[in-house]
Structure 1
Amino acid sequence: MRAPRVPSRLRRPPTFWRRSIQARVVASTLVLSAVVICAVGWYLLRQTRDGLLENRVDAVLAESASATRDAQGRLQAAPVGGTDAASQVQDLAREIIGRADTRGYQVVITGPVDAGVPLSDAVATYSAGLDVVATLPTALLDRMSTVGAGPAWTYTEVISDRTGETDVISDQPEDGSVPGIVVASQLRLPADGRTYALYVVYPLAEEQETLGLVTQALLTAAVLLLVLVAGITWLVTRQVVTPVRLARQVAERLAAGRLQERLRVTGEDDLARLATSFNQMASNLQRQIRQLEELSRVQRRFVSDVSHELRTPLTTVRMAGDVLHDARSSFDPGTARAAELLQTELDRFETLLADLLEISRFDAGAAVLDLEDVNVGDVVRRVVDSTRALAEQRGVRIAVEDADRPCLAEADARRVERIVRNLVTNAIDHAAVGGRDPGIVIRLGVDEDASAVAVRDYGIGLEPGESAMVFNRFWRADPARARTSGGTGLGLSIALEDTHLHGGWLQAWGRPGRGAQFRLTLPRRSDHALRRSPLPLQPDDATDRDEVTA
């Protein structure tokens, strides 16, 4: 089952990321810059917050101490008799709260501290709009419940009493809370001689607003800085990447055969020197390629001319050889044997000349296909029938598996038959005589994309690395071995060229003493690219020690 194809619009961003070094440099610079900016911004915000709080705490403590001293002084100056404790607390609170309203803080007076009753039930007076129970921290209340405790302060949340008629802190959010500082101290009331607690609550709304403005400014500056860094990085990398892209484009044109393409050299920097070196390299390659093309053209023309020129004398020699071969019965035994050898070598020479002409066509790019629907199984059966006599002479039996299975491909029947014949005759040449029966096994395979033929022999096999050399022209696995089929050494080379002309694969596998297998894979349709073969390259009867060589 085929995997679902990913739409091109989804593949485009990853492809752009992989191919664009400029995008990766800009992205990595932005990420690193964002990390640095966040670290610096966090440090600046922390320093700003600590500075604001320290300054505010110093001012609050100084102002609270002054308010406590003034209150204690007024209490000491008040007459001792004629006033009860509650009235004296209210008078004191009224004066302190009046001053607090003008300076933006709030006041709570509770007591007596040694009464041991909850805050909500104690004698208390405080600024309007303040939720005393929710605002005053429990730890601070516990500290002030001991007579003789010294002044103390702590951070808190200033909670507004929304049920009241007034709201002293107008800048509070909807939940009625803002950060604040509460400073606690104790007062001794002359009216009853008992100790009361004075809590001064300072909201930090202005500091919070200032910190918010600083945070917003830092965020705005960070975004603008990131955009600026991205733009600068893009421009800087563009100056470096653009010449590299131009070099890539010129290299692609050179690879496509446009050898006259060159880079434009501007300036004297490193990139200009690189462009100069690139142009020199391209000029040298162009000169050498033209020399090689000229040499190859001369060689191809020489082979073609010699092959054509040899046809006329070969025809004359063939006619004379046929006359001598027909009259060999009237010769003495030595002369008759010479006539037979002459006829055999003339046949081989004629085959070699035909192969040379075919190779020259491939080299000149003049080979074309005559495509039709071909049943590869029928081609295999014809080849086996035509080579059976040679196999019997060699003492080798050929077996075909799945011979009746349809194995269709759009191909040139003549060239496919030549490929299979070359593979079979090569297997006959190298099969082990008197060895495993059958000596050659031909397998057919087909799937929805490709058709394949595998020719297996159990002969001398191939040494490591020879599977790539076996298709070279005039190459032999065993130079001392005679060619039983009278081959020219060009059969596998021509078979490989025929296979490439079809857009197929021709691959070899072999191991010393274990034989070899050649696999031909052709696409079912000529315009389809091969992705896999329906037959394995390593034979099924190969041992686990064998490894595949493609």
Structure 2
Amino acid sequence: MGRLVRIWRRSIQTRVVTSTIVLSTLVVAFTGWALLRDVADGLADGRREAAVSEARSGFDYAQTQLDATVETEQSTQSQVLTQMVDSLTRTRGAQRTYELVLEGPLLTDDGQVPVRSSAAVEPGSVPADLADAVRSGSGTFWRYSDLALLGSSSTQPSVVVGSQLRAPGSGDTYALFYLFSLEDQQETLDLVRRALLLGGLAMVVMVGGVAWLVSRQVLDPVRLARRIAERYASGNLEQRMHVRGEDDIARLSTSFNQMAASLQSQIRRLENLSRLQQRFVSDVSHELRTPLTTVQMASEVLYDSRERFDPQTARSAELLKRELDRFESLLSDLLDLSRFDAGAARLELDPVDLAQVARDAARSPLLERAGIRVRLVGADTPAVVEADMRRIDRIVRNLLANAAKYSGSDVVEIEVAQNAESVSLAVRDFGVGLDGDENLRVFDRFWRADPARTQGGTGLGLPISREDATLHGGTLQAWGRPGEGSEFILTVPKPDGSAKHPAIDSVYA
């Protein structure tokens, strides 16, 4: 069942063909039912009218026979009626399509009503309501019924016509019933039903085949376009669609090929631009490293001798030292980014206890200088992973620096959680928070949420931290709401996935 559901959801052709077959089946079934009903009604009405007409002739003949007799004895009348029944059944010879049932006299001293019939007609073949109607008054009455003969296991549809006869000599009344078989009409109706069934089935199959053929002609180019688009997504931009003819599909293929060529050109141009940018950043960073080292050495000499300078010169030496330190940090970040872009970053793995990292982070001088109180959660249980300690420490320092500089919170919560597969370290503040767009852009390079809150950052700390987390096979995610603070969650997988501690729920608030 699951496979059928997947086929139904993924295949347009299956849905089109199935829907067409179902709808055409409903239309053919309704049309066949209406046509079959009209044919059945026509056959039944025609046979009923002929049966009533023939029965009336028989009733007139039977009444004439009774009128001609002058006997008043019931035995003599019964003998006349029996001969009359035999005479009526012989009128059609081998072509007779009816049976006769004679009941009477209807009023006898013992309450029993004699019944005579032209054949061994099964009791109940004459409907009770029809018999009551004939006994109650004069006229011709009819009903549809099933004719059953004694010794036969099957029944056949019939129309029963009845009327009352009266013997003038004795005044006795009799009920005479004609039972006309509808077997010929039933055979005709069965033939029509089989013809409609076979014709409807052939029509549904033909319509389904046409739907399949048309949908295939339309969907084959679409499927080809999908396969080529998947190859584009995997990086193979050389594929093109075959263009045949000048119809809408051909024009779609031409437009698709033009789009692919344009995308290929744009991607190549962007790749070249990206390579040039990466090379430029790498070259500039390396070229600036040597003069920066020289200037840094000179600034340290001036900074160490600032006590012998006048206040203005001493202040200039301090500013020079601080800005050169920032410049060196920026160059280091740019070099790291160029290594990430070039795929040259490498890990130096060692066992690292993230719980110990959290405890060390709680004593960070950066938070002490900002007057921020630290709250530790879950840091009393070892949470060991295989990681590069230098990069993990840089991630945590960047998160703490981000909280100290931009959150405006007086409390920072550091929480460690783990399960059988990974360990998470979360840094949460309770300050200004992040809105929906900032949650997505906070890891963009050189992006800053609010320039008014900037305190000399470069906008590279969080992007580098995410690259470090990805290099470990982990993740770095951000969460926040305006006025409720923000939370950054570092997740690092365990090396063997062994479950040494019970799983802890997500550290999201």
The answer to whether structure 1 residue 90 and structure 2 residue 62 are counterparts is no
The answer for the alignment partner of 1:366 in structure 2 is: 344
Shift of 1:245: 0.7
Q: Does 1:448 align with 2:420?
A: yes
Cα gap change, 1:101 to 1:362, in 2 (>3 Å): farther
Say how many residue pairs are matched. Answer: 502
Q: 1:91 to 1:370 in 2, by over 3 A?
A: farther
Equivalent in 131, 135, 155 of residue 144 of structure 2: 155
Secondary structure at 1:145's aligned position in 2?
Answer: helix
Task: Give the match for residue 238 of structure 1.
Answer: 216
Q: Which amino acid aligns with 1:12?
A: R
CA pair 314-205 structure 1, distance change in 2 beyond 3 A = same
1:288 paired residue number: 266
Describe the SS at the equivalent of 1:91. Answer: helix
Structure 1 counterpart of 2:230, which letter?
E
Deviation readout 1:192-235 (Å, 9 max, x if unpaired): 35332211111222222322232222222222222222111111
Question: How far does the alpha carbon of each residue in 1:47-102 deviate from its partner, in whole angstroms, 9 at most, with x for none?
Answer: 11011101211221222223233333444455758981222122212222344663
Q: Is the 8 A contact 2:119 2:149 kept in 1?
A: no
Q: Summarize the alignment of residues 13-412 of structure 1 with structure 2, pairs less than 5 Å apart.
A: 13-77=4-68, 84-99=76-91, 102=94, 103-115=96-108, 121-131=112-122, 133-146=123-136, 149-162=138-151, 174=153, 176-189=154-167, 192-369=170-347, 374-385=352-363, 388-409=364-385, 411-412=387-388
Confirm whether residue 494 of structure 1 aligns to residue 486 of structure 2.
Answer: no
CA-to-aligned-CA distance 1:232-271 (integer Å, 9 cap, x gap):
1111100011111111111111122212221111111111
The Cα shift of 1:355 comes to: 0.4
Distance 2:448 2:304 in 1: 34
- Which of 403, 427, 442 pairs up with 2:403? 427
Distance between the aligned counterparts of 2:226 and 2:195, measured in 1? 45
| C-alpha separation in 2, matches of 1:514 and 1:466 | 14
Residue type of the alignment partner of 1:468: L
Distance 2:461 2:394 in 1: 9
Secondary structure in structure 2 of the residue aligned to 1:130:
coil
| C-alpha distance in structure 1 between counterparts of 2:387 and 2:91, whole Å | 106
Question: Shift of residue 308 of structure 1?
Answer: 1.1
Q: Distance in 1 between matches of 2:426 and 2:22?
A: 56
Change (3 A) 1:368 1:98: farther
- Return 213-222 or 94-103, whichever deviates more: 94-103
Shift of 1:508: 2.6
Q: C-alpha separation between the residues in 2 aligned to 1:362 and 1:472?
A: 14
Deviation of residue 409 (structure 1)? 4.3
How far has the Cα of 1:397 moved from its partner?
Answer: 2.9
Q: By how many angstroms is 1:115 displaced?
A: 4.4
Partner residue in 1 for 2:489:
519
Tell me if structure 2 keeps the 8 A contact 1:114–1:146.
no
**Matching residue of 2:430:** 458
Q: Residue 405 of structure 1: SS of its match in structure 2?
A: coil
Contact 1:409 1:524 in 2 (8 A): yes
Q: Give the structure 1 partner of residue 500 of structure 2.
A: none
What is the TM-score normalised by the length of structure 1? 0.83
Match of 1:170 in 2: none
**What SS does the corresponding residue of 2:8 show, helix, strand or coil?**
helix
- Distance in 1 (CA, whole Å) between partners of 2:165 and 2:373 is 122
Contact 2:424 2:492 in 1 (8 A): yes
- More divergent stretch after superposition (31-40 vs 315-324): 315-324
Structure 1 residue 24: Cα displacement? 0.5
Deviations 1:18-44 (Å, cap 9, x if unpaired)? Answer: 111110111111111111011001011
Tell me, in whole angstroms, the C-alpha distance in 2 between the residues paired with 1:472 and 1:533.
Answer: 30
| Equivalent pair of 2:165/2:174 in contact (CA under 8 Å) | yes
Q: What residue identity is the alignment partner of 2:374?
A: I
Mapped to 2, the partners of 1:446 and 1:198 lie a distance apart of 98
Residue 311 of structure 1 and its aligned partner are, at CA, apart by: 1.4
Alignment partners' CA distance in 1, 2:208 and 2:307:
96
Confirm or deny: 8 A CA contact 2:352 2:389 kept in the other structure. Answer: yes
SS at match of 2:162: strand
Q: 1:237 to 1:463 in 2, by over 3 A?
A: closer
Task: Tell me the equivalent position of 2:440.
Answer: 468
Paired residues of 1:451 and 1:534 also in contact (CA < 8 A) = no
Relative to structure 1, the CA distance from residue 371 to residue 30 in structure 2 (aligned partners, 3 Å threshold; closer, same or farther) is farther
CA distance change for structure 1 residues 272 and 130 in 2, over 3 Å: closer, same or farther?
A: same
Q: 2:506 aligned with 1:535, yes or no?
A: yes
Q: In the alignment, is the contact (CA less than 8 A) between 1:450 and 1:534 conserved in 2?
A: no
Distance 1:100 1:417, change over 3 A: farther
Q: Structure 1 unaligned runs (5+)?
A: 1-9, 168-173, 540-550
Aligned residues with identical type, % of pairs: 48
Q: Is the 8 A contact 2:391 2:468 kept in 1?
A: yes
Instruction: Give secondary structure in 2 for the equivalent of 1:157.
Output: strand
Residues 107, 113 of structure 2: 8 Å contact kept: no
User: Alpha carbons of 1:16 and 1:300: their partners in 2 closer, same or farther (altered >3 Å)?
Assistant: same
Q: Secondary structure at the match of 1:135?
A: coil
How far apart, CA to CA, are the structure 1 residues paired with 2:290 and 2:81? Answer: 140
